[in-house]
A and B are shown apart, each in its own frame.
Chain A
Amino acid sequence: MAVLRESYHRDLQSLHDEVLVLGKMVEKAIERSVESLANLDFEMANKVIEADRAINLRRFHIEDQAIRLIATQQPMASDLRQIVAILNIVVDLERIGDYAVGNARITLRHQGSTLLKPLVDLPRMAEAVSSMLQRALDAMVVRDAAAAKAIAREDDVVDALYDQTYRELLTYMMADPTTIDRATWLLWAAHNLERAADRVTNVCERIVYEVTGRMEEVSVSTY
C-alpha cells in the first residue's frame, strides 16, 4: 500500500529533530555553566546567558511548528502523542536552560571574590544531569520507554549529591559565618542542578507516554 501524507510525516520528523538540537544546546549550557563556576570564567558565564536567548527562541519555534501541525494536520494516535510529548518536553528543556543561566549568574556574583572551595560535587551533579539528558533524548529517538524509566530513576543519584553538598556547605557556614554568602551561592547552584535533574525525569515521563500512551510518574524527587 502507498505511504500517505509524506510531507506531514517529514514535518513531524523535523519537529522531532529540532527537539534533539534543543536538547544538545541545553546540555551544553548546563555543562558550561558549571565549568564557568568551577573556573570562575566570567566570559564563559556571559556566553551561557547569551546563548539562552537562542534556546528560548528555538523552544517557541518548536511550539509554533507543533501547533501548526495540530491545526493543519490533525495528528492522531502515536503522532498525536509525539506532538503532545514534544510540547511538554520543550518546556522542560527550556527550563533546564534557565537553571544553567542561574548558575552562570552565580559565577558572575563571584566577581571580586573567590570560590569558597574547589568544586567537586557540583561538576559531578552537572555531569549526571547532562548524561541523563543525553540518554533521555537517545531513548526518545529509539522510542525506548524502559530506558526512559531507568534514566528517570537516576534522579536519586543527583538528589544524594545535593544532600551531600548541602551538608558540606553547612559545615563551612557553621565554622565561619563570613562564608555564608559564598556558601549560599554554591547551595543555589546545587539546587539549580537538582531541579534540572527533576526536569529530565519529566522529559523521561513524556517519552514513556509517547511510546506507551500511559502517563506515569516514574520518579518522585526527595526535594
Chain B
Amino acid sequence: MITVGNDGVRTFEAAGRTDADVAPALRTEGLTAWYGGPNPAIADVNLSVLPNKATAIIGPSGCGKSTALRCLNRMHEVIRGARVAGRVYLEEEDIYAPGVDPVRVRRRIGMVFQKPNPFPMMSIFDNVIAGLRLSGERVKNADEIVWRCLDAVGLWGEVKDKLRSSGSSLSGGQQQRLCIARAIAMEPDVLLMDEPCSALDPIATYRIEELISQLKRRYTIAIVTHNMQQASRVSDYTAFFLAGPDRVGRLVEYGPTEQIFTNPKERRTEDYITGRFG
C-alpha cells in the first residue's frame, strides 16, 4: 500500500492490509494444553483465525503448532491424559463449554491429516460420504454430494470412471484430495490441515496448495506446515510458534503473511524464517 504523508513522503508498506473489523471464525483465549505431564505443551495462546482466509501456523519442531491445531476441534483431548484449559470460540460458541458435543464440533471444524488416510476397505465413493454416514446421518443425495465434493477438490475428472475402486488405489496426492473431499462433505465451517503435503511430491503439493486457495472462498482454513515457503504461498495470515527453554510452545507473532515474511516485528520470528536458528 502506498501512502503519501503530510510531508509529501511516499511510503509503501507491505503490511498495510488489516482485517481488524472482521469477526474471527475461530478464536482462542489463553489456550493451554497438556499431554499428561505437569508442564503444558502450549501456553496462553491467543489466536484468531479469520473467516474465508487461510491461516498458517509455523514454527520449529516441538513448538506446539500441531497441538494448537488439534485443540481447535477438540482432537487433542482424545489422547489419553491430555487436557486443555482456556477458551476456543467457534464464532460466538465456546467449544469447550460444558455440554458441547465434541462430535458436533468436529463436524463443523473438519480436519485433514499429514498422511492421507482414506478408509482402505471402502470405495472412493464411500470414502467421500463416510463421515456423513459415521455421524449417523441418512445420506439421501449421495451421488450429488460425491460429485460436488470430488469436483471441488479437482478429483472428479480423474476418478469418475472408477468410483467403486478402493480409495487406496489412488496416488498419494489423489488420496489426500479424497480426504479433503471427505472433510468438506460434512459441510464444515472450518478446515484444519495438519501438514497436509508433507507426504506428497512437489506436483501433488502444488495441487493441494491451489486447492487451498480455492477452498478458502467457501471455508476458513488453518494449516500447520513446517514448510515456510508453503506458508508464504498459501496463507493470508501466519502465526509463528516457538518453544522457550522451558519447552512450552507460545505464540510469538501473528500477522498478515506478507508482513511476517518480508518484515516481521519480532526478532525471534526474523531469526527463524531466515534460518538463523532452529
Q: Which positions in A face B, CB cutoff 8 Å?
A: 1-5, 8-9, 74-81, 212-218, 220
Q: Assess whether B263 is in contact with A8, with CB atoms less than 8 Å apart.
A: no
CB proximity of A155 to chain B, nearest CB, Å: 15
Q: Give B256-276 interface residues, CB cut-off 8 Å to A.
A: 261-264, 269-270, 273-276
Provide the B242-267 mask, 1 if CB < 8 A to any CB of A, else 0: 00000000000000000001111000
Q: Pick from B11, B262, B273: contact of A81, CB below 8 A.
A: B262
Q: Assess whether A80 is in contact with B9, with CB atoms less than 8 Å apart.
A: no
Q: Pick from B8, B229, B263, B277: contact of A77, CB below 8 A.
A: B263
Q: Assess whether B10 is in contact with A213, with CB atoms less than 8 Å apart.
A: no
Q: Give B3-44 interface residues, CB cut-off 8 Å to A.
A: 8-14
Q: Assess whether B232 is in contact with A76, with CB atoms less than 8 Å apart.
A: yes
Task: State in angstroms the CA–CA spacing of A190 and B9 once bound together.
Answer: 28
Q: Assess whether B262 is in contact with A214, with CB atoms less than 8 Å apart.
A: no
Q: Pick from A74, A77, A216: contact of B264, CB below 8 A.
A: A77
Residues of chain B with a CB closer than 8 A to A212's CB: 263
Q: Assess whether A213 is in contact with B263, with CB atoms less than 8 Å apart.
A: yes
Q: Pick from A78, A213, A216, A218: contact of B274, CB below 8 A.
A: A78
- B265 — nearest CB in chain A belongs to which residue? A213
> Does B200 make an interface contact (CB < 8 A)?
no
Q: Assess whether B276 is in contact with A76, with CB atoms less than 8 Å apart.
A: no
For chain B, the count of residues having a C-beta within 8 Å of the partner chain is 22
Task: State in angstroms the CA–CA spacing of A212 and B11 once bound together.
Answer: 11
CB proximity of B252 to chain A, nearest CB, Å: 14
- B8 — nearest CB in chain A belongs to which residue? A220
Q: Pick from B9, B13, B14, B261: contact of A76, CB below 8 A.
A: B261
Q: Pick from A9, A74, A77, A217: contact of B262, CB below 8 A.
A: A77
Task: State in angstroms the CA–CA spacing of A213 and B264 once bound together.
Answer: 9
Residues of chain B with a CB closer than 8 A to A76's CB: 228, 232, 261-262, 273-274
CB proximity of B14 to chain A, nearest CB, Å: 7
> Does B99 make an interface contact (CB < 8 A)?
no
- B277 — nearest CB in chain A belongs to which residue? A1
Q: Assess whether B262 is in contact with A80, with CB atoms less than 8 Å apart.
A: yes
Task: State in angstroms the CA–CA spacing of A220 and B10 once bound together.
Answer: 11
- A213 — nearest CB in chain B belongs to which residue? B263
Q: Pick from B14, B276, B277: contact of A213, CB below 8 A.
A: B14
> Does B278 make an interface contact (CB < 8 A)?
yes
Q: Assess whether B270 is in contact with A216, with CB atoms less than 8 Å apart.
A: no
Q: Assess whether A217 is in contact with B228, with CB atoms less than 8 Å apart.
A: no
Q: Assess whether A214 is in contact with B12, with CB atoms less than 8 Å apart.
A: yes
Provide the B131-144 mask, 1 if CB < 8 A to any CB of A, else 0: 00000000000000
Task: State in angstroms the CA–CA spacing of A74 and B229 once bound together.
Answer: 8
Task: State in angstroms the CA–CA spacing of A213 and B276 once bound together.
Answer: 19
Q: Assess whether A77 is in contact with B10, with CB atoms less than 8 Å apart.
A: no
Q: Assess whether B9 is in contact with A77, with CB atoms less than 8 Å apart.
A: no
Q: Assess whether B277 is in contact with A4, with CB atoms less than 8 Å apart.
A: yes
Task: State in angstroms the CA–CA spacing of A1 and B59 once bound together.
Answer: 14
Q: Pick from A4, A75, A81: contact of B263, CB below 8 A.
A: A81
* Known contacts A4-B277, A5-B276, A80-B261; 7 further A-B pairs (Cβ under 8 A): A4-B275, A5-B275, A74-B229, A75-B274, A76-B228, A77-B261, A80-B262
